[in-house]
Amino acid sequence: MTPGVRPLVAGNWKMNGLSANLSEVKAMREAVDAGKAGEAELAVCPPATLLAQAAWALRGGKLSLGAQDCHAKESGAYTGDIAAPMLKDAGAAYVIVGHSERRQYHSETDEQVKAKAEAALKAGLTAIVCVGETRAEREAGKAIEVVSRQIRGSLPAAGAFETVVVAYEPVWAIGTGLTPTAADVAEVHAVIRKLLGELYGAAGAKLRILYGGSVKPANAKELLGLDNVDGALVGGASLKAVDFLAIAATYA
Ligand code: PGA
């Protein structure tokens, strides 16, 4: 944790969820609004098809809504893509950019991620910018080098960067049940904190750095209690309100 920084626990539903699953969003909202979800800010990022319905279900409440990706342009001939102002218009406050699944399956580069993050800020969204090394990079001793390069290349240079959130998600820990050691997480987060200071000056000390990759109720306490870990980006365990809320309860 970083003193004076309110943690964020964000759920990334990925390509999961139909209208029926909005019952989970509603259960999350009820807990948050009843003050039973701890001290962290909570956000849920369902697929784009559910954003408007989720926004309706969350209206007037304290559970935030996020999207999973945006286009770098504000509008135009980009069939199938969704622009940041559209996400804002649908009710999102956050958008994840540069998730490793986007980097891997859609060949997104740091430069593109940066452009998306800048578009998000311009639209009034908070960008959750993801970075993280692959297993081969970790085993080659290159984790710090890779993450540093991604941070320098993917974070917005323009816009209201005071709201930017960074998520460190080792690719090999996503959806695998594997997690880095507490010492490895703390090491990478400390490096990210230092780089945020270089990029954004004093404001960098207060930006939230989330850990993501196989966060579960059982390991949340250890991972989220580390220095410079200001919350979590949760995939699989965010699909059920009971698990997501159990993770958030770390900040009770
Ligand atoms: P996971 O995914 O929690 O299922 O490992 C995390 C993520 O990809 O954001």
Domains and CATH numbers, the chain: 24-72+79-236 (3.20.20.70)
Angle at the Cα of 25 (from 248 to 3), degrees rounded to 5?
Answer: 25
Q: How far apart are CA 180 and CA 183, in angstroms?
A: 8
Give me the pLDDT at residue 243, please.
98
Ligand 1 close to Cβ of residue 212 (< 6 A): yes
Best mutation site among 101, 215, 223 for ligand 1 pocket (most ligand atoms within 8 Å of CB): 215
Ligand 1 probe mutation, 16, 234, 240, 244, most atoms within 8 A of CB = 234
CA 76 to ligand 1 centroid distance, Å = 31
Query: Is the CB of 213 within 6 Å of ligand 1?
Result: yes
Tell me, using a 6 A CB cutoff, whether residue 234 lines ligand 1: yes
For 30: left if phi > 0, alpha if psi spans -120 to 50, otherwise beta; the answer is alpha
Cβ(231)–Cβ(244) below 8 Å: no
Q: What is the pLDDT along the chain (252 residues), one digit of tens a residue?
A: 999 999 999 999 999 999 999 999 999 999 999 999 999 999 999 999 999 999 999 999 999 999 999 999 999 999 999 999 999 999 999 999 999 999 999 999 999 999 999 999 999 999 999 999 999 999 999 999 999 999 999 999 988 888 999 999 999 999 999 999 999 999 999 999 999 999 999 999 999 999 999 999 999 999 999 999 999 999 999 999 999 999 999 999
Q: Which is the closest atom of ligand 1 to the Cα of 174?
A: 5
Residues whose CB is less than 8 angstroms from the CB of residue 14 and which lie 6 or more positions away in sequence, other chains included: 47, 68, 101, 235
Task: Specify the pLDDT at position 159.
Answer: 80
Cα–Cα distance, 219 to 26 (Å, whole number):
25
- Ligand 1 within 6 A of CB of 223: no
* Residue 111, amino acid: E
Q: Indicate the pTM of the whole model.
A: 0.98
**What integer pLDDT is reported at residue 91 of this predicted model?**
98
- CB 12 near ligand 1, within 6 Å: yes
- Hey, is 141 helix, strand or coil? coil
Residues classed as catalytic: 99, 169
Residue 238 CB less than 6 A away from ligand 1: no
Q: Of all protein residues, whose CA lies closest to atom 9 belonging to ligand 1?
A: 235
Q: Six-digit token pair at 207?
A: 């930006």
Q: Confirm if 105 and 14 have CB atoms less than 8 A apart.
A: no
